[in-house]
Amino acid sequence: MTTLERVLYPYGELFNYGVLLHCPETQRTACVDSGDAEASLAAAKNQGWSITDIWVTHHHHDHTDGVLELKEKTGASVIGPNLPDTPILGVDHVISDGDVFDFAGRGVTAIHTPGHTLDMINFYLPAESLLFAGDTLFTLGCGRVFEGDASMMWKSLLKLAALPKDTIVYSSHEYTLANAEFAVTVDPDNAALHEQVQNVKNRRANDEPTIPSTLAMELNTNPFLRPDDPAIRKHLNMQEASDAEVFAEIRRRKDEF
């Protein structure tokens, strides 16, 4: 079984990324989130691929605006969450936490990570060591907490932190430079973080994406995954707080940064 091919492409005004996932053997191609159908179609055409599947992480418009048009033009099957209060038009197969579905002979596990939104689903392919994290986990950051609360978001991040460290993490936005600038304010003595910040600056200076990352890198450098770190706790003067409380304080500071 060959490794799935991956293509990252930008779209929209919110520094969004879509991802195409292609199996050369079966010719199936999944589009992870489509906020812009034309961008998705152009990326597929450039590779000579035909989109057969659409995976939706959550209901926000910059992830769903292109779904119906893309479905109409390709006949693709749409998989994603679909809560009553935040319906996503076009979803054919509703998934929830722990559900597993097949893509080109690989199992894809749905991981429910509420916090940014209540319907957020991440797609994990253990055979490929791939995670599509939507707006839950970013490179050096995490999503704003819009529909849940900080405790909920922290529990969601713990689910992702427990995956194998070699997991390749695709997130949905190019927010890394801003995340990096904030991260050093709460974790200033982290040598690995400073090295990563310079790497991020170099990549963005060359207009290169900072995505994907790896879970190992995020565990070493992303402050939102490190509220148990003694240096961060000392810097925040929160040595006796719970991990959830430290996470909430880091999220609060980022919101005000």
User: What's the pTM?
Assistant: 0.96
Looking at the fold, whether 100 and 154 belong to one and the same domain comes out as yes
pLDDT of the residue at 13: 82
Q: What domain range is 225 assigned to?
A: 176-256
Looking at the fold, whether 110 and 201 belong to one and the same domain comes out as no
Identify the band that residue 217 occupies on the pLDDT scale cut at 50, 70 and 90. Answer: very high
pLDDT of the residue at 2: 86
By annotation, the residues acting in catalysis are 58, 60, 62-63, 116, 135, 173
Looking at the fold, whether 163 and 83 belong to one and the same domain comes out as yes
pLDDT of the residue at 12: 87
CA 95 to chain centre: 17
Looking at the fold, whether 79 and 187 belong to one and the same domain comes out as no
What pLDDT digit, counting tens, does each position of 96-140 carry?
Answer: 999 999 999 999 999 999 999 999 999 999 999 999 999 999 999
What pLDDT digit, counting tens, does each position of 2-54 carry?
Answer: 899 999 999 988 899 999 999 999 999 999 999 999 999 999 999 999 999 99
Looking at the fold, whether 240 and 151 belong to one and the same domain comes out as no
Domain count, the chain: 2
Given a cut of 80, is residue 161 above it in pLDDT? yes
Looking at the fold, whether 40 and 119 belong to one and the same domain comes out as yes
Looking at the fold, whether 123 and 223 belong to one and the same domain comes out as no
Question: Last residue of some domain: 171, 196, 216?
Answer: 171
Looking at the fold, whether 104 and 193 belong to one and the same domain comes out as no
pLDDT of the residue at 1: 76
Looking at the fold, whether 109 and 196 belong to one and the same domain comes out as no
Looking at the fold, whether 70 and 166 belong to one and the same domain comes out as yes
Looking at the fold, whether 198 and 110 belong to one and the same domain comes out as no
Tell me the mean pLDDT in the region 48-73: 97
Looking at the fold, whether 204 and 248 belong to one and the same domain comes out as yes
